[in-house]
Structure formats: structure tokens, C-alpha cells
Amino acid sequence: MYTSKNIETLVDVRTALHASSHLSDLLDLIARRTTEFLNAKGAFVQLIDIEKDTVECAGAHGWGERYLPKWSICKHEIIRNQCRLGKILIITDILNDARVQNAAEMWDDGVRMAIFVCLTLQSHIGGIIRIFFPEARKLSQEERSFLVTVATCGACAIESARLLENQKSLYDHLALQTEKLSALGRMAAGIAHEINNPLAGILLYSTNLLKKASKDGPFKEALEIIVHETKRCGDIIQDLLDFSREGEPKKALVNINDVTEKAVSILENEFRLHHIKLEKQLSPELPDTYVDANQMEQVFVDVLLNAIEAVQERGVITIESRLGSDGKSEVIKIGDTGCGIPQENLAKIFEPFFSTKSNGTGLGLAVSYGIVQKHGGNIHVASQPGQGTCFTIELPIPDSIPSKEVTTHPNGSH
Ligand SMILES: Nc1ncnc2c1ncn2[C@@H]1O[C@H](COP(=O)(O)OP(=O)(O)OP(=O)(O)O)[C@@H](O)[C@H]1O
Ligand SMILES: [Mg+2]
């Protein structure tokens, strides 16, 4: 049973809800429209976080504004229990009802009746509306229906505001991580450049000395070690430069499934040795795309090696490739049933030199990250400690892919 006034008010509230207004503006509107509709003297809305057991005042109108700052803590657990039962709580004996806070003050202000309505969505309580009246009276059926509908609108608004807040903090976290990695990249590039030149000198002189050292002389073995270790340092520097996105990839048109297969064939022995079952689901629909095949192969080898190391013996590693849901990207997922990554390490694994292995350099994923970024793609991870890990690599498909290059032989044949 809805009157035109009732409908007008509800349309107003719903429009504000869909216009993605600021939550406090929307809750102010709910407090005002409820006050007007019920001919009350005022109302205010509180946000309740059951898990954290906190209450926050968020919107008010009329008398509600007077009480707003005073109810930062309320006897919400009593009211919550009532509202859990889906009841609209009507208090007519303001002075003597244990559920009322600041009773004497309210009485002096002229409050003779208060109504509490819970903002509940799918049995989750997001908040509460408190409405104040100058005299006790009965609520009509229409007024009750109105309150129920307004409470649902308010609960939806609170829920979507919370979801937005969660998304924003996730986004902020990712942005911070990306910024941190790019700062590390710049630092790594600086250090790598500085070390590269003296290292080249050491390698040159030690190699020359090694050539001149007599076969059975005392220096040969030491010089071999110097040359070997210097080369190892050179490899690390090269990895750092890769991570820091120095040097653009040499892209060519390839099918990413072929690159994946090549990486798998390189590691075939490792799979066999560790009795690891490999499950492949490579989509035949994937179009060729423009990537540096060597660099992408390195990414797949690094991620697969980590998976092998995590699984150790008799686990399962899965590789899946498919077209992204937008049709503009290719998605490659590499999953394992290994040890998983503890929550506190998840944000660190792409940083250079982060490793939990006694013999790891901690550059595998840092380099992979740099390479995928250079390709305009993304790499991210999901993991459950004790259950396994899944890396997802997304590579963009360019809008227009140039046709495959055709090699023309000097005699004109192909
Ligand atoms: N699939 C995985 N399962 C569990 N932990 C993983 C996995 N992949 C990466 N990690 C964690 O991330 C860390 C960083 O990996 P990354 O490949 O960068 O370095 P690393 O494997 O330790 O050394 P290397 O430079 O030799 O690759 C690892 O030490 C490990 O703790
Ligand atoms: Mg590794």
C-alpha cells in the first residue's frame, strides 16, 4: 500500500543510491526523507561494523544532528539483537527503557518516542536509523513498509560503499607495489651500470693472465676461480638490467603456445626426475602475437622452475593458455600443488634478491616481472600455503598484427 508521497520519497532515495553519491550525503538524505515522511523531529544513521565491533555516526537530520556526536558508542548490541529478528524497534517509554542512552537529556529535549530500524542486507547488519518523535503514536502499515524499504536502500548503499573502499585499498596497494618495483628497477639499473665496467676490466685481465699462467703453476686454479666468479657476477648484472627494463625486447610474431612448449621441453628432465605430473591445456584458438620469444621463454622457465622447486616430489603442475575475457589479451596460467607462499611474502616475491632458498639469487621472478612489463603485460600470483600457487601472465594482443614476415631469397624464390 504505497501513496504517491511514499513513492516519491523512495524514488528519491533510490536515484541518489544509483547516482553513486557520497555515502554521507546519501545517509543524510535517508535521515531527512525518513523524518519528513514520518512527521518526526529528526533522525540519524549509524554505521555498524559487527566484526570490528565499531559504530560510526554517518548521517543526520533535525534533532538527529543534536545527538549525532553523543552516540559514538551506543548500546547497539541490544538493538542489534532486536533487529536481527527483523523487528522495527519502537520505544515509547523513553525515560525507563534500558535500551535508551542519554534518556534524561532526550526527555528534556522533548523526545517522547524513538524508533530504531536496522539496515540489513542478507542478514548482514550495516547500520541503524534512529528516529525521534515529539509524542508517542502508532505506526501505520504504510509507514512500516516505508521503513523496511528505506532500510534496504540504506543497507545497499553501505554495502556498495564498503566494496568500493575495499577495491580502492586493493588498487592503492597494487599501485604502491608497482611504484616500489619501478624504483627498485631504477636503482638496480644504476648499480648494474656502475659495476659493469670494472667487472669487464677484471674479466679481461684475469682471462689474459689465465692464458699466460703455466699449466702446473700456483696461479692457474685461483685465476680460473676469478674468471668463473666474475662471469657469474656478469650474469647477475645482466639479470638486473633485464629486470630494470633496459634494452627493448626484440619482438616477432609467434604463437605463445609454442614458446610454452619450448620452455617445457627444456625442463623435461626435471619433471621426470621429480616424478611431477604435467597437465597442459593450451588453447588452439590463441592467435599469434608479437613477443620476444627468448625473453618469454625465460619467463616460463623461471616460473616453471619455481613450481618444480615448490612441488619437490610427485606433485602436479598445470599450464593453461586461453584468450582473455576481453578478447584483447592472452592469459597463461602456471599452477602447482607445492608448498605455497605465506601471505607476508606475497608482496615481496617480485623484488630483486628476495629468496627463501639457500641457493636462490632471488632474481627469477624479478626478471620475469621486468620482461612481462616490457611486453605491456601483467604477472600476478595467487597462493594458498600448504596447497599450491598459481601465476597468471597476461599479454596484450596488438590491435593490428602485421602479417608474418616472408623471407625472400636472392633468386626470388620463398
Ligand atoms: N611456485 C612457487 N611456490 C612457492 N614459492 C614460490 C613459488 N615461486 C616463487 N616462490 C617464492 O618466491 C621467491 C622468489 O622467487 P624467485 O624465482 O625470484 O627467486 P628464487 O627462486 O629464490 O631464486 P632464483 O633467482 O634462483 O630463481 C622464492 O624464493 C620462493 O620463496
Ligand atoms: Mg626462481
User: Cα–Cα distance between 148 and 145 in angstroms, integer?
Assistant: 5
If you measure from the C-alpha of residue 363 to the centroid of ligand 2, how many angstroms do you get, rounded to a whole number? 7
From residue 153, give the alpha-carbon distance in Å to each of 14, 30, 158, 398.
7, 9, 9, 43
Compute the C-alpha angle 278/282/286, nearest 5°.
160
Q: What is the mean pLDDT of residues 95-123?
A: 83
* Band of pLDDT at residue 204, cut at 50, 70 and 90: very high
Pocket test for ligand 1, best of 267, 304, 355 (most atoms within 8 A of CB): 355
SS3 content of the chain, % helix, strand, coil (to 5): 50, 20, 30
Q: Look at ligand 1, atom 1, and give the residue with the nearest C-alpha.
A: 307
Compute the C-alpha angle 175/177/178, nearest 5°.
65
Cell, residue 407: 623471407
User: Cα–Cα distance between 30 and 304 in angstroms, integer?
Assistant: 55
Q: What is the mean pLDDT of residues 54-75?
A: 70
Residues in the chain: 414
> With a 6 A CB cut-off, is 364 part of the ligand 1 pocket?
yes
If you measure from the C-alpha of residue 290 to the centroid of ligand 2, how many angstroms do you get, rounded to a whole number? 25
Cell, residue 15: 536515484
Are 48 and 126 a contacting pair, CB within 8 Å?
Answer: yes
Query: Is pLDDT at 345 greater than 80 in this prediction?
Result: yes
User: Would the CATH topology of 169-243 be identical to that of 252-396?
Assistant: no
The pLDDT assigned to 76 comes to 54
Residue written as grid cell 525515560: 95
If you measure from the C-alpha of residue 285 to the centroid of ligand 1, how many angstroms do you get, rounded to a whole number? 31
User: Cα–Cα distance between 362 and 367 in angstroms, integer?
Assistant: 9
pLDDT tens-place string over residues 145-193:
888 888 888 888 888 777 877 788 788 887 787 777 777 777 888 888 8
Say if strands 289-291 and 329-336 run parallel, antiparallel, or are unpaired. Answer: unpaired
Select 4-166's CATH number: 3.40.50.2300, 3.30.450.40, 3.40.50.150, 3.20.20.70: 3.30.450.40
The pLDDT assigned to 133 comes to 94
If you measure from the C-alpha of residue 230 to the centroid of ligand 1, how many angstroms do you get, rounded to a whole number? 24
Ligand nearest to the CA of 338: 1
The pLDDT assigned to 387 comes to 95
The pLDDT assigned to 19 comes to 66
- Domain segments of the chain as ranges: 4-166, 169-243, 252-396
The pLDDT assigned to 409 comes to 39
Say if strands 252-254 and 277-282 run parallel, antiparallel, or are unpaired. Answer: unpaired
The pLDDT assigned to 45 comes to 87
How far, rounded to the nearest angstrom, does the alpha carbon of residue 160 sit from its chain's CA centroid?
Answer: 17
* DSSP secondary structure letters along 142-178: HHHHHHHHHHHHHHHHHHHHHHHHHHHHHHHHHHHHH
CATH number of 169-243: 1.10.287.130
Contacts of 49 (CB under 8 A, 6+ apart): 55, 56
The pLDDT assigned to 226 comes to 94
Q: Look at ligand 1, atom 4, and give the residue with the nearest C-alpha.
A: 340
Largest CA distance in the chain: 110
Collapsed DSSP state (helix, strand, coil) of residue 312 = coil
User: Cα–Cα distance between 380 and 400 in angstroms, integer?
Assistant: 26
Q: What is the number of other CB atoms lying within 10 angstroms of the CB of residue 89?
A: 19
Are 393 and 373 a contacting pair, CB within 8 Å?
Answer: no
User: Cα–Cα distance between 218 and 120 in angstroms, integer?
Assistant: 83
How far, rounded to the nearest angstrom, does the alpha carbon of residue 199 sit from its chain's CA centroid?
Answer: 40
Q: What percent of the chain shows pLDDT beyond 90?
A: 39
Radius of gyration of the chain (CA): 33
CATH architecture of 252-396: 2-Layer Sandwich (3.30)
* Least confident window among 237-251, 331-345, 360-374, 390-404: 237-251
